Amino acid sequence: MTGGGRLAIVAGSGQLPLYVAAAAREMGENPFIVRLRDDSRFDWSDFDNAVISVGDVAGLGRLLRENKVDRVVLSGGVARRPEWREIRPTVGILLKLPSIVKTLLSGGDDAVLQMVIKIISTLGAKVIGAHEIAPGLLATTGPFGGQKPAEEDMKDIRKAAEAALALGKLDVGQGAVSVGGRIVALEGVEGTDAMLARVTALRAEGRISPRRKGVLVKLCKPQQDVRADLPTIGIETVENAKRAGLAGIAVEAGRALVLDRDAMLKAADEAGIFVCGIDTSLGGDMVGGDMIG
């Protein structure tokens, strides 16, 4: 397909697809929403839309062709991998991407996303990042609200960032929690909210000191393609961090998305929780020394 075609948004779970769709309309686009069955829960009746199952490559190709789509944004979460019976590739896709079934069934998250990007390219469209449609969602460096990390919090930011990068290299997850310089939780397939629920439970069981708060850090995987699955935080992240007794949340500046920023920062300020963007290239001073409270 050539330029001038339509934008499609593949909508999984969460609110990100809504923000991307709204931003696309503001840019004058008329996005077509490809809803993932069992993941996309919102009412998309105000948009042209259709639903497909995860793994239905042939169905996706048909929708892209029928709607003259030349660009695709992947947004939102996917709860589960497709079963082998659910993977419906075309003969052309099998010939060009013979490892498709194996990768979709058993590859790491990053490997799966890379395969999805290759599939969409083979179908004739280009994958672009959500941040290219909604650049205002990108995290910036430094504190976002009225709360700032203290020096003790910076130690936890550095420790959790180190753990998150190591975890990302293994293509496992994007987040880690450090309390008092000790890694107490790493994100797996359960996602950030479930990881924070574990921290809350550990705190209640006395496994984590009530005198030390700690920090959640979310970073891109080192090998991650920024066109898909950027770390994302929103008001629910703040609420769960509060339940877990954390002092704050740090995400990677320029490589993370912040949803419903005003409401999230209002909730964070009321809870006494800082939210900030960090730059790992700055070494130990990832938010800037003049910004530490």
Output the pLDDT for position 1. Answer: 37
Output the pLDDT for position 290. Answer: 43
Pairing of strands 274-278, 142-143: antiparallel
Output the pLDDT for position 283. Answer: 61
- Which residues of the chain are under the pLDDT cut of 50? 1-2, 289-293
Output the pLDDT for position 86. Answer: 65
* DSSP for residue 86: G
Output the pLDDT for position 3. Answer: 53
Query: For 95-200, where are the E strands, in sequence order?
Result: 126-128, 142-143, 175-179, 182-186
Please give the model's pTM, rounded to 2 decimal places. 0.86
CA separation for the pair 21, 4 (Å, rounded): 18
